[in-house]
Homo-oligomer: A and B are copies of this chain.
Amino acid sequence: MLRCIRPQGLRIRPLTQPSQSAVNALQRPLNYSQYKFPGLRKYTTSTSSSTSSSGSHVPPPPPQKPTRSRLYRAGRAFILLGVGVPVIGSLAWYGYDMYFEAKGDILHQRRPRHIIGGPKNLVMTHGCEGSVLKAEEIHQNDPRQRLVILGSGWGAVSVIKQLDPKKFHVTVVSPTNYFLFTPLLPSATVGTLELRSLIEPIRRLLSRLGGYYLEGRAEDVDFENQLVEVSGIHDSEGRKFYVPYDKLIIAVGSEAMTHGVEGLEHCNFLKSIADARDIRRKVMENFEKASLPTTTEEERRQLLSFVICGGGPTGVEFAAELYDFLNEDLVGYFPAIPPEEVQVNIIQSAGHILNTYDLKISEMTERKFKRDNIGVVTNARVAKVNPKSVIYKEKATGKEFEIPFGVCLWSTGVGMTPLVKMLVSKLPTGSQSNIHAIETDAYMRVIGTPEGTVYAIGDCATIPQPHFVDKVMTILKEHDTNGDNLLSYDEFKTLALDIAAKHTVLKVFLGHLGNVFERYDKDHSGFLDLDEIRTFLTDAEKQCTALPATAQVANQQGDYVGKRINTLHEIEHAEAAAKFPPFKYTHKGSLAYIGGSDAVLDMGKGLVYGGIGSEYLWRSVYFSEQVSGRTRLLLFIDWSKRALFGRDISKF
């Protein structure tokens, strides 16, 4: 006989009630003897001394009140009760009402209402009653716009930190429910830092805004009806739902670029917590395997060889952290492993590692790695990855080499996520031409979407690059109205305004057109000749170089978009948009840890630093960049822990 029972629900105390311990504390009788009133000190002392000295000094009796008639006392009690109870009662009720008044509509605030709708008839999340088209009606009662953010990385979190809670209903859709401080991931991989110290739950960041988080993957965006189609990542039935928006921010990041290399399934990546854990487990596993008596020397050399494809900051920092881990922790605890069998190699396609940094930095790092016997192979391209070896080709000679590996890290290039690929293909023909990311205008608005509704930031977005210099003749002919192959000031003015309209980032560069014209008219002829025009266009092009796919860029773009939509939250059309200056990237410098308590810092303009104290500088930069006080404290604890006890060598 099978009977189905519904067990009693768990009564969980709402947050607004005091916690049980607080209640206990209140119910505990207070010990008044603990309190000392300065004015009473003398009297108290005399009392205690009189008790202790066996009653030799009897304290004076307290003054007695004059007795009153019984009627008087009864009357007083009656009046006190009759007046007091209603007064206190109504005060309490008033407080209660005021409390819920202030809280507002708890029921509907707490639970998003779901309805069915949209072109595919899917469940639709909160913020719209009946249909998405009725959004305007809602706005009459509630000035807040529905803002949807796809992603939970640098870009998304920077937006969240800027938003004004009075202006937006915020919903974040992402497969990971936490923000990850990616620049420190190489440190966490080897155990210098705890993984948990690098993350901040999105729900915690959203609590200031009263926002929602949905653990799902955005599958599609209906730009016309302003709906995001989402699927829950653990939903075995594959059910999808709509999240309607007034404004959408795409900040979904990037995927590793394969460059068409075969066998990347044998490689490890370093973009997520799971990646970091996999690498750590593999490193420990290989050391344990290499310690077994059945493992041959050849196997050991394979297991203990670590190959890093890509000499960018991630690859270099991972190599450095791995070297520290091997050198400071592992080799001492694995007596059966001959240290000379442990190898770390970096394969880099450019001529130097850290090739986006100052050359001095690259050379400094290469010298350091040479001292540490970390192999650096430059000007080489990985041709294929086998299950246990990497094959690479020397660019100059075309010769192929093979390195066996126990762990191979692939950290090169930035590619589009499936969602971004799909969105780019959906947008009107001609609006998108980049193969790495979504193209936006200088205000980070996605080109080809209804104006001011969709933004894209971070690794998944790019501002398209002009190719002025290549087209210098075309440009000249276009604006040279009198056909003399020279540009007069008026002709130059139309050219400049034309450029500025397309590339809003140039507006500052083209601020005082008269001055600009004079600056480039070197021979003061009053006209710009072909060479002068080419110099001008080259300089203009330099002003809008493609931004690197870094946390710093995503962070600044997020800040920008957050501030922008705070200001323009209800209207967004050409005039309003023009009031808010276009996004401008300020490079604050690049840095990388290169092992053995050394870091390198590139502050831009040839200003570089490495050497004594650089590690502390490196740490303090990341310390100040943390998104919460919590992670800041945890970082500090972790660094102290490593200094005290070394890194953990447990495998799990």
**Which chain B positions have C-beta within 8 A of A339?**
9-12, 14
Q: Are B285 and A336 in contact (CB under 8 A)?
A: no
A71 at interface by CB-CB < 8 Å: no
Q: Are A10 and B342 in contact (CB under 8 A)?
A: yes
Q: Are A201 and B20 in contact (CB under 8 A)?
A: no
A194 at interface by CB-CB < 8 Å: yes
A318 at interface by CB-CB < 8 Å: no
**Which chain B positions have C-beta within 8 A of A536?**
none
A364 at interface by CB-CB < 8 Å: no
**Which chain B positions have C-beta within 8 A of A305?**
7
Q: Are B5 and A402 in contact (CB under 8 A)?
A: yes
**Which chain B positions have C-beta within 8 A of A342?**
9-10, 12
A 13-29 contacts with B by CB, 8 A = 13-15, 19-21, 24, 28
A165 at interface by CB-CB < 8 Å: no
A 187-233 contacts with B by CB, 8 A = 194-196, 199, 201, 203-204, 207, 212-216, 232
A499 at interface by CB-CB < 8 Å: no
CB of A193, distance to nearest CB on chain B (Å)? 11
**Which chain B positions have C-beta within 8 A of A531?**
none
Query: Knowing A294-B241, A332-B15, A343-B10 touch, does A215 contact B402 (C-beta < 8 A)?
Result: no
Q: Are B241 and A649 in contact (CB under 8 A)?
A: no
Contact of A293 among B28, B241, B401, B650 (CB under 8 A): B241
Contact of A194 among B7, B109, B194, B212 (CB under 8 A): B194
CB of A547, distance to nearest CB on chain B (Å)? 29
CB of A599, distance to nearest CB on chain B (Å)? 13
A373 at interface by CB-CB < 8 Å: yes
Q: What residue of chain B has the Cβ atom nearest to residue A24's Cβ? A: B612
Q: Are B597 and A21 in contact (CB under 8 A)?
A: yes
**Which chain B positions have C-beta within 8 A of A467?**
none
Q: Are B12 and A652 in contact (CB under 8 A)?
A: no
Stretch touching chain B among A94-102, A110-118, A415-423: A110-118
Contact of A3 among B196, B288, B344, B402 (CB under 8 A): B402
State the oligomeric state as a number of copies: 2
CB of A169, distance to nearest CB on chain B (Å)? 12
Q: Are B203 and A334 in contact (CB under 8 A)?
A: yes
Stretch touching chain B among A74-82, A323-331, A438-446, A516-524: A323-331
Query: Knowing A5-B403, A637-B637 touch, does A232 contact B289 (C-beta < 8 A)?
Result: yes
A400 at interface by CB-CB < 8 Å: yes
**Which chain B positions have C-beta within 8 A of A295?**
232
**Which chain B positions have C-beta within 8 A of A372?**
10-11
Q: Are A9 and B343 in contact (CB under 8 A)?
A: yes
Q: Are B194 and A403 in contact (CB under 8 A)?
A: no
**Which chain B positions have C-beta within 8 A of A204?**
333, 649
Q: Are B333 and A400 in contact (CB under 8 A)?
A: no
Please encode chain A, from 235 to 249, with 1 for each CB lying within 8 Å of some chain B CB and 0 for all others: 100011100000000
How many Å lie between the Cα of A194 and that of B327 in the bound state?
26
Q: Are A288 and B177 in contact (CB under 8 A)?
A: yes
**Which chain B positions have C-beta within 8 A of A331?**
12, 15
Query: Knowing A338-B111, A652-B273 touch, does A234 contact B285 (C-beta < 8 A)?
Result: yes
**Which chain B positions have C-beta within 8 A of A125?**
293
**Which chain B positions have C-beta within 8 A of A334?**
203
Q: Are A177 and B649 in contact (CB under 8 A)?
A: yes
Interface of A is mostly: mixed
How many Å lie between the Cα of A400 and that of B651 in the bound state?
43
Q: Are A8 and B649 in contact (CB under 8 A)?
A: no
A182 at interface by CB-CB < 8 Å: no
CB of A88, distance to nearest CB on chain B (Å)? 29
A363 at interface by CB-CB < 8 Å: no
A133 at interface by CB-CB < 8 Å: no
Q: What residue of chain B has the Cβ atom nearest to residue A634's Cβ? A: B641
Query: Knowing A9-B342, A13-B327 touch, does A630 contact B652 (C-beta < 8 A)?
Result: no
Q: Are B333 and A207 in contact (CB under 8 A)?
A: yes
Q: Are A10 and B373 in contact (CB under 8 A)?
A: yes
CB of A104, distance to nearest CB on chain B (Å)? 13
Contact of A402 among B2, B14, B20, B651 (CB under 8 A): B2
A 584-642 contacts with B by CB, 8 A = 596-597, 612, 630, 633-634, 637, 641
Please encode chain A, from 108 to 141, with 1 for each CB lying within 8 Å of some chain B CB and 0 for all others: 0111101000000001110000000000000000
Q: Are A292 and B232 in contact (CB under 8 A)?
A: yes
A538 at interface by CB-CB < 8 Å: no
How many Å lie between the Cα of A51 and that of B361 in the bound state?
42
A1 at interface by CB-CB < 8 Å: yes
A428 at interface by CB-CB < 8 Å: no
A 262-321 contacts with B by CB, 8 A = 273-274, 284-285, 288-289, 291-295, 301, 305
Q: Which 5 A-B pairs have CB atoms at the shortest separation, nearest pair first? A: A178-B650, A215-B288, A12-B339, A9-B340, A239-B294
Identify 11 new A-B residue pairs, CB closer than 8 A, beyond the known A3-B401, A123-B294: A1-B400, A3-B399, A7-B375, A10-B339, A10-B344, A112-B293, A194-B196, A196-B648, A212-B335, A232-B295, A630-B645
Instruction: List 20 interface pairs A-B (beta carbons < 8 Å), by A numbering.
Output: A2-B391, A3-B402, A5-B403, A7-B305, A9-B340, A10-B374, A11-B339, A12-B331, A12-B340, A110-B336, A177-B288, A194-B196, A195-B652, A196-B648, A232-B295, A234-B289, A235-B292, A241-B292, A274-B652, A633-B644
